[in-house]
Amino acid sequence: MTMGLMDFVCVVYFLLIVAGSSLAQWPGFQQGIDPIRFQQSPVFVARPAVQNPQASALRLPVMSSTRVGPWKFQEPDSSQSKQLMQAPMAPLTWHFPVVPEEPKQPPVPFELRVPTPTQSIAAQCGESSVHVEVKKDFFGTGQLVNPSFLRLGDCAAVGENPEAQVLIFEYELQACGSSLTMTDDELVYKFTLFYTPEALVGTPIVRADAAAVGIECHYSRLHNVSSSVLMPSWVPFAATKVAEDILVFSLKLMTDDWMFERPSNQYFLGQVLKLEASVNQYNHIPLRIFVDGCVATAVPDINSTPRYSFIENHGCLVDAKLTGSTSSFMRRVQNDKLHFQLEAFRFQQANGGLVYITCALKAVMASTPISPENKACSFTNGWLSADDNDQVCMCCDTSCGSGRKVGALSDSGEGLVSEGKAKIGPIIVSN
């Protein structure tokens, strides 16, 4: 046991001597080189055979080193930072949708038709009285006037010919506020026929301007003569400006054949405005447009007074029922367009004769069935639908759903895709 311990101690002591000798022979150790600053790899070097078996059993690998320069750590500089920030990135493929520009309309052959004076008054001067006949189609527009709006001076009509649609005035020469003028050769009795329209019942609008027509009876001091009737002259009015999320709503004035946008914004009383409401659907599914409501005002502010609501109750065009006009929706030929016509009018108390129109438009999926809330109805001896479904118009005399102001968004709606407002104005009235 003692001999074994002694042998172990001798072996350990011998290994320490060999290790110390190897370190003393290492050039890097003698020169004080930091071990972390070189690279080394073990190299086994063959030694001559040794007779001592113990020595041969303790052969150790000899480390061969190669000196290298100190390690340098690269500091990040600005160029590297720029390279890091400019690393390749996948290009964006999504972008905000852009509303395509509509092609400009080519010049439209258009000529404004100015109304010609109408032969609506005839007068016969008798020996002591005057007989005047006035057509109820006073302006020659096809719109019959209310007899109570016509007076000869302060005298009302005394009769009417229903077949000829003529009102009759017959009074003494000295009656009805007439005036007498005497010249060297003649006696002249002068009368004035007044047309003074009132606002249409339940509305603040009129469709004809006030007019005054002078009528004279000339009498020679030798015999009686009857003068020709003085014809009224007036220049009715009108003008309009067209108004409009990738859905684009529009409201346009159209020519009489509905083919082009009307290049002129002037109208005359008795003429008819042709209006087209449309929605540009671009990449959307097929849509159908409706005019939910329209309000006319004398200024751009929709909440101002006077104001006249002529389309209401989710698409009921009530103007014809209120005033007896020919205003109506046209039969639909395209889902994304809706045509309607409106007889020109002005506000009775508005100076300058300006009219602005604001409409609420909405688009629903074309597959959505026609319903009381999605309809276009006109009144012609009864309610008729522009989409050939008159049954949905029966509610126009009552209520067709939740009421809301023109331009206010609805809370719900079957098939509703989008809605918006469109404005037209001003309509200019001139005398």
Residue 232, pLDDT score: 43
Question: Tokens 């010049």 belong to which residue?
Answer: 107
Of the two residues 108 and 84, the one the predictor is more confident about is 108
Predicted local confidence at residue 268, as pLDDT: 81
Q: Which CATH architecture has domain 248-427?
A: Sandwich (2.60)
pLDDT surpassing 80 at residue 304:
yes
> Residue 255's closest CA among 275, 278, 277?
275
**Span 114-138, average pLDDT:** 87
pLDDT above 90 covers a percentage of the chain that reads 34
Q: Two tokens at 234?
A: 């007036």
Q: For residue 27, count other CB atoms closer than 10 A to its CB.
A: 9
Judge if 121-220 and 248-427 fold alike in CATH terms.
yes
Lowest-pLDDT range, 86-90, 213-217, 328-332, 353-357? 86-90
Radius of gyration of the chain (CA): 50
Residue 278: the pLDDT is 92
As a CATH number, domain 121-220 is 2.60.40.3210
Strand partners, 5: none
Euclidean distance between the first and the last CA atom of the chain, given in angstroms as a whole number: 142
How much is the pLDDT for 98?
75
What whole-number distance in Å separates Cα of residue 393 and Cα of residue 314?
Answer: 10
> What local confidence, expressed as pLDDT, does residue 209 receive?
76
Average pLDDT along the chain: 77
pLDDT digits (tens, 9 = 90+) for 33-77: 554 444 555 545 445 444 554 444 445 555 555 555 555 555 555
pLDDT tier at 231, thresholds 50, 70, 90:
very low
Confidence (pLDDT) at 19: 62
Task: Kindly list the strands in the beta sheet with 248-253, ordered across the sheet, starting from the edge strand earlier in the chain.
Answer: 248-253, 272-280, 337-343, 328-329
Least reliable range by pLDDT among 75-79, 180-184, 328-332 = 75-79
Mean pLDDT calculated for residue range 249-255? 88
Delimit the domains of the chain by residue range: 121-220, 248-427
**Helix (H) or strand (E) run with residue 66 in it:** strand 62-67
Give mean pLDDT, residues 108-116.
Answer: 78
Percent of the chain clearing pLDDT 70 (strictly above): 70
